[in-house]
Amino acid sequence: MLQHEFVSAAAIAASVLFILSLGGLSNHEKAKRAVWYGIVGMAIAVIFTAMGPKIGGYGWMIPMMLIGGLIGAWLSRKVEMTEMPQLVAALHSFVGLAAVFIGWNAELERARVMAIRAAGVSFDGLSAFASTLAHKTPAELSFLQGEVVLGVFIGAVTFTGSVVAYGKLAGKIGGKPHKLPGGHLLNAAAVGLCLVLAIAYFNGAGFWTLVILAALAFFIGWHLIMGIGGADMPVVVSMLNSYSGWAAAAIGFTLSNDLLIVTGALVGSSGAILSYIMCKAMNRNFVSVILGGFGGPQGPAAEIEGEQVAIDAGGVASALNDADSVIIVPGYGMAVAQAQNAVSDLVRKLRDAGKEVRFGIHPVAGRLPGHMNVLLAEARVPYDIVLEMDEINDDFASTDVVIVIGSNDIVNPAAQEDPNSPIAGMPVLKVWESKQVFVCKRGQGTGYSGIENPLCFKDNTRMLYGDARSSIDSLVSMID
């Protein structure tokens, strides 16, 4: 009894720490402390769950925990910030697959308990989980079936969806949307078959229904995310984060683990809220996002006139020396080049010269929500000059120079000017309204999303080609 009380108290403490961690992440200055809240909360959760009543198999559990911990420590040191989005997607897939396996195992144990009850023999020798099931009423076991169906379905969708997201973010799968003939009808048919299988499962059809249901859900997850274009991958990562949370909550109900229920609900709800906020920022329909129904072209895009005009670092430095106000717009290209420290040096030198320097951050800049903010904080850029899109968008018209570093879609005027653009209607940073725009870019390609940007062809835009870090380092040395 005392052991159970300790576990319950630990669950409450861990839940409080997780809530504090989520709350603190909304503020730059509190973010580091918030991360430590999450680390301590997770340590408490793991340790006290392992010490819970009727928990055994430590000969297997402890080595697996040590191996997992060592792999996590190795990854944390090996993975660069540019690879963080695909790492997050990969971790989401683990949660989804765990939900599928736990759901399958729960059904096997439930069927075993039901068979023993029917035979009228002793329940001795059962696993801890099966022993818990043995004390449940038939109604409670039926409720467990509903938890199993939800866990398996959500987990399977999360698993394959996250694997595809990982592939797209890592460049192993093309960023353009791909759908099989039939599109949404295929997804709808698969969902309908899942519903039929769930009904059959509830009526005693057997374990095979869950296996086929999982296979169909694997297809749905794969097809949903394959149908989403690269420009929208930050929203996809956030959405899959929400899915993994709900999958974890379903696992918690199945295992009667209150802490897992709370943690999963926190992750699921916060991920859903973040996805909704990002959809508003991109002028996307939330339901359409959930159904994987965006990211494809709406029709033939408008023809782009003009040509891209290159400039060297000396020309950009000259414009910066003459400017009074400068706005820097970072994107994934800054992350790839690891140019954030060079950008920080440039900002410091420009501010020392008496110039007003600020950053314009789009809500979906990079490939992960908050990606640019983290990189700039790492480079010790002052928080007060890092502004969100809504805070700075009206100031571009009165700005002398804008430097765009590795951004494409978030500064693309086609979002407002071309109704046939794949990103039509998406709010963007209006950098083209400034007096001069310099775009730091590796080459003339369309970038990850495959969408051409008319900004690069405008009369007041010049292209600074090359590696972003080398380009910015060159500028730093030329600023008076």
54-72: string of b/e by CB count within 10 Å (b at 16+)?
eeeeeeeeeeeeeeeeeee
What is the spatial distance between Cα 62 and Cα 460, in angstroms, rounded to a whole number? 62
Helices (H) and strands (E) in the chain, counts: 18, 6
CB 232 within 8 A of CB 422: no
- Residue 225 and residue 93: Cα distance in Å, rounded? 13
3-state secondary structure of 321: helix
Tokens 């009543």 map to which residue? 53
CB hemisphere CA count around 463 (13 angstroms): 19
The Cβ-side half-sphere exposure at 175, using a 13 Å CA radius, reads 16
Residues 76/51/95/278 CA torsion (nearest 10 deg): -70
One of 232, 352, 409, 418 is an active-site residue; which one? 409
SS3 326: strand
Distance CA(222)–CA(308), nearest Å, equals 38
Tokens found for residue 297: 């072209």
Asked if 268 and 150 count as a contact pair (C-beta separation under 8 A), the reply is no
Query: How far is the C-alpha of 45 from the C-alpha of 68, rounded, in Å?
Result: 15
The neighbouring-strand residues paired with 361 are 388
Give the C-alpha separation, 449 to 447, whole Å: 6
d(CA 390, CA 362): 9
Q: With beta carbons less than 8 A apart as the criterion, state whether 435 and 396 touch.
A: no
Is residue 405 a contact partner of residue 331, using CB atoms and an 8 Å limit?
A: yes
- CA nearest 418: which of 378, 461, 455? 455
Q: How far apart are CA 339 and CA 246, in angstroms?
A: 37
The answer to whether the beta carbons of residues 254 and 147 sit under 8 Å apart is yes
Beta strands in 257-345 (DSSP E): 325-330
| DSSP string over 406-442 | S--GGG-THHHH-TTSTTTT-----GGGSSEEEEEES
Active site residue 473: no
Catalytic residues: 409
